[in-house]
Chains A and B, each alone.
Chain A
């Protein structure tokens, strides 16, 4: 056994990773022999009758052959998955002479589950893993104990290694829209300002040398007496930068804002949860139509993802969103460096907008020439802190400041939408923005 194996054994083996007698065996032996001996000495048949079954069952446990090294292993557990149910198999090798196996298996869908007492003959158990919250989490920790007859000789308990999955943030179906019209590349889903080969009419102008004959608009040419040609828009793809504000994770109840949550990656229904879900949905929507989508963590700039296209990029972004949420925490200022935003890209700022810095950042991005969409993820229906008499007043001040920040961004040309749990508001805003008259 090398050092690594010894270390692993020390970490995961636990104190009872060997066959050893239990207190019940000592009890059966001591009480059984004691009653039989005293019954014999004092000529009391009752005592012998009381001691006999204890002695017999103890002797059976001692004579029965138990041994080997029980092994419990997990099969078919992917590293990443989607929210909901998944299946996995726990393989069991209980060793020789095992009568029962106690294994910790997920049964009720919460944490690592209770200990299940199973027959010793079981070799593989199919378990259903269910988690409704995205993020990193432990799905299985098959702690186990193997027992011989009557549980008088046991191997374990052994604390097993935790097996977890990264559940990717869910994706809501969103309509595409609100994209900047600009030329980059030769193909794409969005209208560019320059002339090209799409079917959308850009202009009708006088014929120039070099124009193709098939572009001549004969009706206009006959009416005006000069040759005119129809000019069309070019089609291009676009860059989208999702700027995630991970500095705040607040929920509906203001009294809980300063209370840390250790068990979960984010607060369920909180601002960071909403922001990550919104980012995943927006990324999926834009990537579906062939755009390049990147990610910037405003609190931890080193955690971003460069723009890319395709389904692999969507997986990368969803994984990176989990990484960003895991590392979320307070940072003094949000950071969005110009080199993180490609020229002409759409910048989607996802934040609860609880400080002026992030609003200024959005305004600066708009001033640099980017189209900026501010997605407000502050949960709706905030509740005041009931532990303080100033709770309602503090909430009112916070709401007013928040509204001022949103209004200031609107005045700087930033489109502001609110993200709710079902993404209805942003769907409506994107549909409106996607109308031809609203396109730039």
Chain B
């Protein structure tokens, strides 16, 4: 606990709290535009825009999960090269939606956001995206071909282990 000797910082005005929700809306619109350019038909896009509205209004809702997963499924349905600029852009925007919604869910609309508070999150976002880009580069550089079934099974087992570990960590936290 800081004592009386701690020099207090003056409270700045900060940005209004609705900026995060507006950012969710803007990012959602950009995602919809990219999906439209990739050939996704109009009806699913209208549904997606509805999800964007719900997520911007209620960032703590399950609509955000659909908002993040929807572009991935849409791109699989549309088909095309697995690693292309649209995919990389949508990966970054989906991650951004996830992070923005996580912070917006913590704050009421009438709040004030001090941009300095979001700096560590922004740096981590860039670091994670750099890692994803490296992974994409690895995918492009590695030779294609059928993976052995045993390797696939090992991969699935690793993923299950990852989930089990994460759940165990969550249980320890709560």
Interface residues of A (CB under 8 A from B): 18-25, 27-31, 33-37, 40-60, 62-63, 66, 71, 73, 75, 89-93, 99-102, 105, 107, 114-120, 122-128, 145, 147, 149-154
Contact = CB atoms under 8 A, between A and B. Distances in A.
B122 to A, nearest CB: 11
Chain A CB within 10 A, most for which of B72, B101, B107, B152: B72
B166 A117 contact: no
Nearest to A45: B82
Q: Which 9 pairs across A and B sit closest by C-beta, in order of nearness?
A: A24-B102, A45-B82, A50-B72, A124-B8, A126-B8, A53-B95, A123-B2, A115-B111, A93-B1
B30 interface: no
15 contacts: A28-B102, A37-B156, A42-B76, A75-B4, A91-B2, A117-B106, A117-B113, A119-B116, A119-B117, A119-B119, A120-B120, A125-B8, A126-B10, A147-B106, A150-B124
Contacts of A54: 68, 94-95, 98
A326 B136 CA distance: 69
Given A57-B98, A116-B112, A116-B114, A62 B106 contact: no
Chain A CB within 10 A, most for which of B94, B132, B173: B173
Interface in B158-174: 159-160, 162-163, 166-167, 169-170, 173-174
B107 A50 contact: no
Interface in B68-106: 68-69, 71-72, 75-76, 82-83, 87-88, 90-92, 94-95, 98-99, 101-103, 105-106
A126 B14 CA distance: 15
Contacts of B107: 102, 115, 117
Contact of B105 (A46, A114, A151): A151
Contacts, number: 226
A94 to B, nearest CB: 10
A23 B60 contact: yes
A21 B174 contact: yes
Contacts of B125: 57
A34 B65 CA distance: 11
A115 B71 contact: no
B9 A145 contact: no
Interface string B133-148: 0011001000000010
Q: How large is the interface on B (under 10, 10 to 19, 20 to 34, 35 or more residues)?
A: 35 or more
Contacts of B105: 22-24, 151
Contact of B11 (A22, A23, A33, A116): A116
Contacts of B72: 35, 46-47, 50-51
Contact of B102 (A20, A116, A150): A150
Interface string B5-34: 011111101100100000000000000000
A46 B114 CA distance: 35
A71 B1 contact: yes
Contact of A125 (B11, B99, B102, B167): B11
A62 B170 contact: yes
B131 interface: yes
Contact of A150 (B71, B99, B111): B99
Contact of A92 (B2, B83, B132, B155): B2
Contacts of A125: 8-11
Given A124-B8, A125-B9, 13 more contacts: A18-B174, A21-B173, A21-B174, A24-B98, A27-B62, A31-B65, A44-B76, A44-B82, A45-B139, A50-B91, A56-B131, A117-B117, A125-B10
